[in-house]
Amino acid sequence: MRLLWLRLLPIYTGDREEDKVSVRVRFAPSPTGQIHIGNIRTAVFNWLFARSQGGKFLLRVEDTDQERSSEEFEEIILKELRWLGLDIDEGIGGGGEYGPYRQTHRLKIYKKYAEELQEKGCVFPCFCSPDEFEKEKNPEHSYNDPCRDLSPDKVEELRNKGVPEALRFRSPRQGKVSFLDSVHGEIAFQSQVIDDFALMKSTGYPTYNFACVVDDHLMKISHVLRGEDHISNTPKQILIYEAMGWQPPVFAHLPLILDKKRRRLKKRSGQQEAFLSSYRNAGYLPETVFNYLALLGWSPGEDKEIMSREEMVEKFSLEKINESGAVFDIEKIKWMNGVYLRNLERKEFRERALAFLSGQGLDTENEKLIFLMEALQEKVNTLKELAQKISEYFEPLAFPDPEDARQVLQQDGVEKVLSSLKAKVGEVDDLNPDRAANLLKEIIKELQVGGKLVYKPVRYALTGKGTGADLSAIMAYLGPENIRMRIDETFKFLKGDAHE
């Protein structure tokens, strides 16, 4: 629970006018794979904060993991940000005067500051091999690094032997490190539990904690909004800021996004739903994803949920960020996407749906597809669902639930209705939804039957099912030829052969 006074304390924010205009936040992913939902949510919050404060949103690539980083993933990051509409003011894909913005291009910089820390005596070389260090680690005292107090002679000796050396921070063994988190209030760690973490790897690459601090400082980052999993890194980073004599940024640790089991939603769980790309591929609109993600861990403080980007920017504030983890609810985002889809203007829906459909191997040249598409607009939650529903009408007639179908089709008078329909469509060479609807009305009038004997039975006869798109749209889509064929097939089915 946060204390009120902490919320109001104007430590770094809000008290001075210039603070407001100097807000600079960054999204700093590592290019090691498909972009993750949790990651992109962090980006969304950073972007929202920057825009709400009139600040800058930067993109920095943290590619210091030589094993896993790859340039192709950098492209993916850019593409995903663009898709979601998170425009970059500075950094990779945005230019700017504090570059380079790719950490592997900043190696000299880290080296320089590492040397500075060495001169200050805040660090020490470590000659342990990674495995060795693992063994030496004592679960009770994680700071227990065997190289911490090596004599200068010993250091000299090991260096001469060419033993690979890393650089570690000499963590204080008493006192405490604390900081004021904008989401959680004060967070404090006893210094003795902070181990002698590495700053530079033996490869000459910086570690995350070191590079991050150097870059955030040099790039004048004012607020660090990142996942809660970074809380335990924060005291280490603060120690570096202090050693360098730098002012740390404001930290805001965002609650984690959880899966149904309340575990952190992560790539390794293998769930496709952990990736942003899955949502694009499943036909979610970017505005839906943005809206839904913004609401995971943040609330404007009122009942409104469907909001425009502008509204969210206007209402966003660090104070309204929640402190507890949030389960990602696939049902809810599905519903939300349905709302966005239904709210689309006819024309826009058509364009966007067509663009998606053509990527799904559907024949978008067929202009009759439009009839179905529009009839389905209000019935689907995703464009993928739209594609699936449309494809069903490409398939040959089948009766998945023959019992039901028979019950409807065997009512007295239905046969007459179907025959009449068959005859009527025989007289026209094309159909549109209006004409189709009129045809059915004519039948009702001429045969003096109720709609009950027409709509549902015709639906079954033409589609084999009891639910689906608007009937006249289906008829227009199928066209006279297919309608006649399907009615014949239905008659066969009723006589007992085939189609089960």
Partner RNA sequence: GCCCCCAUCGUCUAGUGGACUAGGACACUGGCCUUUCACGCCGGCGGCAGGGGUUCAAAUCCCCUUGGGGGUGCCA
Cβ-based nearer residue to RNA, 137 or 368: 137
Cβ-based nearer residue to RNA, 136 or 363: 136
Residue 384 in contact with RNA, rule: CB under 7 A: no
267 among known catalytic residues: yes
63 closest CA partner among 100, 15, 114: 100
Residue numbers 98-127 binding RNA by CB under 7 A: 126-127
Residue 497 in contact with RNA, rule: CB under 7 A: no
Residue 184 CA to residue 186 CA, distance in Å, equals 6
Given the residues 20, 111, 267, 332, select the one marked as catalytic: 267
Please identify, among the stretches 91-99, 132-140, 239-247, 353-361, the one whose residues bind RNA according to the rule CB under 7 A: 132-140
Residue 324 CA to residue 328 CA, distance in Å, equals 13
Residue numbers 294-333 binding RNA by CB under 7 A: 295-297, 299, 301-303, 305, 319-320, 322-327, 329, 331-332
Cβ-based nearer residue to RNA, 363 or 401: 401
Residue 455 in contact with RNA, rule: CB under 7 A: yes
Report the run of H or E that residue 327 belongs to, with start and end: strand 326-327
Residue 60 CA to residue 29 CA, distance in Å, equals 7
Taking residues 161 to 200 in sequence order and writing x for each that binds RNA by CB under 7 A, - otherwise, the string is ---xxx-----------------xx-xxxx--x-x-xx--
Q: Can you give 177-215 as a three-state secondary structure string?
A: EEEEECCCEEEEEEHHHCCCCEEECCCCCECHHHHHHHH
Angle between helix 208-218 and 234-244 (nearest 10): 50
Taking residues 334 to 353 in sequence order and writing x for each that binds RNA by CB under 7 A, - otherwise, the string is xx---x--x-----------
293 closest CA partner among 46, 10, 12, 9: 46
Looking at residue 394, what DSSP letter applies? T
Residue 470 in contact with RNA, rule: CB under 7 A: yes
Residue 267 CA to residue 167 CA, distance in Å, equals 30
Report the run of H or E that residue 168 belongs to, with start and end: strand 166-169
- Residue from 205, 241, 246, 491 binding RNA (CB under 7 A): 205
Residue 448 in contact with RNA, rule: CB under 7 A: no
Residue 169 CA to residue 320 CA, distance in Å, equals 36
DSSP 3-state assignment of 12?
coil
- Residue from 93, 96, 466, 479 binding RNA (CB under 7 A): 466
Taking residues 225 to 264 in sequence order and writing x for each that binds RNA by CB under 7 A, - otherwise, the string is ---xxxxxx---------------------xx-x--xxxx
Residue 144 in contact with RNA, rule: CB under 7 A: no
Residue 154 in contact with RNA, rule: CB under 7 A: no
CB of 340 vs RNA, minimal distance in Å? 11
Cβ-based nearer residue to RNA, 206 or 286: 206
Cβ-based nearer residue to RNA, 160 or 467: 467
Q: How far is CA 184 from the centre of its chain?
A: 24
276 to each of 33, 41, 143, how far by Cα in Å? 11, 10, 38
Backbone angles phi, psi at 69, to 5 degrees: -75, 145
Cβ-based nearer residue to RNA, 200 or 369: 200
Residue 433 in contact with RNA, rule: CB under 7 A: no
Q: How many residues at the interface with RNA, by CB under 7 A? A: 97
Residue 456 in contact with RNA, rule: CB under 7 A: yes
List active site positions: 267
